[in-house]
Amino acid sequence: MTAYKIGILKGDGIGPEIVDEAIKVMNKVAEINGIGIEYDYRKIGGDAIEACGIPVEDETLEALAKCDAILMGAVGDPKYDNYPPQLRPEKALLKLRKTLGLYANIRPAKTFDRLIEKSPLKLKSGLDIVVVRELNGGIYFGEQHESEDGTFASDQMAYSVEEVRRIAHVAFKTAMGRGKRVTSVDKANVLSSSRLWRRTVIEVARIYPEVTLEHLYVDNAAMQLIINPSQFDVILTSNMFGDILSDEMSVLTGSIGLLPSASVNSDKLGLYEPIHGSAPLIAGQGIANPVATILSAAMLFRHSLMREDIAVQIERAVEAVINSGGRTKDLVEAGESHMSTSEIGDKILEAL
């Protein structure tokens, strides 16, 4: 029997609830397909702060590096807002990405047929877009400075050719399996780092002559996502721009609770998580939408375990449940009936 080792980081807020539903689904597809899964449970974010005083332990990072893939819920809570910067839950994510070399963030956004009306836009047809976001460089990892009197602060946005080149290859390879169109988003009219970004992307594009490349400034890209989102196939962009644009894109599908993500390194090790946050205000109420986490598990099988067949099984089961009327609270109007977090998970098991 093929056996895989999966690191589990439930995290904060609704994290434990949604991860539990994904684990149910993973156990079911393991049973169906005759594979074994061993789970290695670790703490991160506020969960780790409460247990050991820091957002992630070195021991956790060492253990996760030995896994085949990692599934995570979410981190963060307002009660940590006044903690020193290095002790906030979100710092664990940055350290995790950097330590494990998770440089490529892949965020797909695809509408379900029965949820097109939930989009804030009057969509005439469904969306199917992938954002490929550079995750280990840019302003989030640049040199930071703040004056002692608190009157001045700066953050450096820096990129090397190699950092841009490797993420560009991910975007073009992704496009080759889709619509063969890449839109590279930068701010090359203002930023030196963006001019390097654009030059390097053009250089990489020559290796993929079948793929059409276009460039947009980030402000125009944000506007075009609202005006005509169906024009996009693969969006390639930097760390901060990708963070913002992918959250904008997520709302177009009807709910941020539907969208998964993968953060992978060059050795296929990946961190898989919903793009939404920990939502502490609804934690423990059984109303969180687990679909994004379950679809993240599908991406885990696809990108790290190289089991496209199992990824498709999960995705088809989710689609069947959504299109047959399965809804959590975020997908219904006030007063309408809805399913609980675990009920949606159970329905997906039935579909499998």
Indicate which CATH number applies to the domain containing 334: 3.40.718.10
Residue 228: inside a domain: yes
Question: Which range is least confidently modeled, 4-13, 215-224, 271-280, 328-337?
Answer: 328-337
Say if residue 134 is in the same domain as residue 211: yes
Say if residue 276 is in the same domain as residue 168: no
Q: What percent of the chain has pLDDT over 70?
A: 100
Residue of higher predicted confidence among 155 and 254 = 155
CB atoms within 10 A of CB 144: 12
Pick from 223, 251, 279: which residue ends a domain? 251
How far the first Cα of the chain sits from its last, in Å, is 21
Say if residue 149 is in the same domain as residue 237: yes
Alpha carbon distance 255, 260 (integer Å): 12
Say if residue 80 is in the same domain as residue 134: no
Residue 116: inside a domain: no
Pick from 182, 216, 251: which residue ends a domain? 251
Say if residue 244 is in the same domain as residue 132: yes
The residue segments making up the domain with residue 183 are: 128-251
Instruction: Tell whether the torsion through CA atoms of 91, 73, 245 and 270 is positive or negative.
Output: positive
Number of structural domains in the chain: 2
Say if residue 20 is in the same domain as residue 91: yes
Say if residue 267 is in the same domain as residue 332: yes
| Mean pLDDT value across the chain | 94
15-33 and 291-303 helices cross at what angle (nearest 10)?
A: 50
Q: What local confidence, expressed as pLDDT, does residue 201 receive? A: 98
Nearest to 219 by CA among 254, 194, 252, 196: 194
Nearest 10 degrees: Cα torsion 118, 120, 121, 127:
-50
Alpha carbon distance 165, 161 (integer Å): 6
Statement: residue 124 has pLDDT above 80: no
What's the pTM value of the predicted model, to 2 decimals?
A: 0.92
Question: Which range is least confidently modeled, 70-74, 111-115, 206-210, 233-237?
Answer: 111-115
Q: pLDDT (tens digit, 9 = 90+) per residue, 33-82?
A: 999 999 999 999 999 999 999 999 999 999 999 999 999 999 999 999 98
Alpha carbon distance 236, 213 (integer Å): 10
Q: What local confidence, expressed as pLDDT, does residue 331 receive? A: 87
Q: pLDDT (tens digit, 9 = 90+) per residue, 127-160?
A: 899 999 999 999 988 898 999 898 999 999 999 9
Residue 57: inside a domain: yes
Strands (E) across 12-90 are located at 36-42, 69-74
Q: What local confidence, expressed as pLDDT, does residue 231 receive? A: 94
Q: What percent of the chain has pLDDT over 90?
A: 84
Q: What local confidence, expressed as pLDDT, does residue 130 receive? A: 97
Say if residue 135 is in the same domain as residue 234: yes
Q: What local confidence, expressed as pLDDT, does residue 198 receive? A: 98
Amino acid at 102: L
Alpha carbon distance 352, 341 (integer Å): 17
Catalytic residues: 140, 187, 219, 243, 247
Pick from 196, 216, 251: which residue ends a domain? 251
Helices (H), 66-160: 89-99
